[in-house]
Structure 1
Amino acid sequence: MSNHLAATVTLTNAKMQFAASTRTNPIVQMDYFPPIGDGEGYTGLEMLLMSFAGCSASSIVPLLRRMRKTVAGFVVNASGDRREQHPTCFHTITAEYVVTSPDIEEEDMQKAIQMSEETYCPVWAMLKGNVTITTSFRIER
């Protein structure tokens, strides 16, 4: 894995729609809410929220599997609250992790979430100290 990552973002219409891509992955549409944009793509903060959810999930699931636990399903429900004044960045993010498993216990989830926060999720590390992040989890059998 390279330590260098790159992305290209290109304006695609007269308002605020952009095409974003990395490597040879499919293009993702970015836009802003009307009237500034047309609302036909993800905003930067929505992409940041998805990035946090995906990054934490992609560390928690392998950690649970390394504990020899069965992960039959995994969903992250993430939401964020923005500041009123500019820059209107997130001041809080809430993440609910929902795992489907016959053998994962509460202690397993607590440990995996803690390890994701403290060691394995680079997006979490970047947000930490700037955004209050609250987590919860639910285990479904």
Structure 2
Amino acid sequence: MKAKVTLIDKLQFSAVSDSNHAIILDAGKDMSYDQGCRPKELVLMGLIGCTGMDVASLLRKMRVPFKDITISADAEISTEHPKIFTKIHIIYTIIGDNIDESKVEKAITLSHERYCGVTTMLQKSAKITNSYNIEKEKQGE
């Protein structure tokens, strides 16, 4: 895997992935333009994106009839440099009718313990916990 960043101006960078997708990274208005994600934000988004792909794929294989999945994360960062994640809590919201809770638990566990490489990397420095909610599909949606 490869990636490349190129300085645009101040602390704003254009980043290009090995798969040739681009994003802007930036610092806040006090140091730059505040027009892109901060690097640690991207790491956190990468974590929940990685586990989300696992969980969605696993639930489909288990034939769980979900309509949507939303995943959020709350992270604590150390106060001393280098400022790293020390705790991360991931919250999964599975939306749909007739959702088998045991299959949701199994998919999340498999993601965290076996499939999500981002989780494995971040667990070296941060305690990662999770919880989930199952919500009924709203009528008319």
TM-score, with length taken from structure 1:
0.90
TM-superposed CA distance for 1:102, in Å, is: 1.4
Residue equivalent to 2:139: none
TM-superposed CA distance for 1:101, in Å, is: 1.8
What is the alpha-carbon distance in structure 2 between the residues aligned to residue 51 and residue 43 of structure 1?
Answer: 12
TM-superposed CA distance for 1:117, in Å, is: 0.7
The answer to whether 1:40 aligns with 2:32 is no
Large movers: runs of 4+ above 2 Å: 33-38
What is the alpha-carbon distance in structure 1 between the residues aligned to residue 23 and residue 63 of structure 2?
Answer: 35
Residue equivalent to 1:100: 95
Taking only the aligned residue pairs, the percentage that are identical comes to 32
Q: 1:11 aligns with which of 2, 7, 14?
A: 7
Give the strand-richer structure, 1 or 2.
2
2:64·2:100 contact (CA, 8 Å) conserved in 1? Answer: no
TM-superposed CA distance for 1:24, in Å, is: 2.4
List runs of 5+ in structure 1 lacking aligned partners: none
What is the alpha-carbon distance in structure 2 between the residues aligned to residue 60 and residue 125 of structure 1?
Answer: 15
Q: Given residue 10 of structure 1, which amino acid in structure 2 is its aligned partner?
A: T
2:71·2:93 contact (CA, 8 Å) conserved in 1? Answer: yes
TM-superposed CA distance for 1:103, in Å, is: 2.3
TM-superposed CA distance for 1:77, in Å, is: 1.0
Q: What pairs up with 1:1-141 in 2 under 5 angstroms?
A: 5-13=1-9, 15-22=10-17, 23-25=19-21, 27-141=22-136
What is the alpha-carbon distance in structure 1 between the residues aligned to residue 134 and residue 42 of structure 2?
Answer: 26
TM-superposed CA distance for 1:110, in Å, is: 1.2
What is the alpha-carbon distance in structure 1 between the residues aligned to residue 56 and residue 106 of structure 2?
Answer: 12
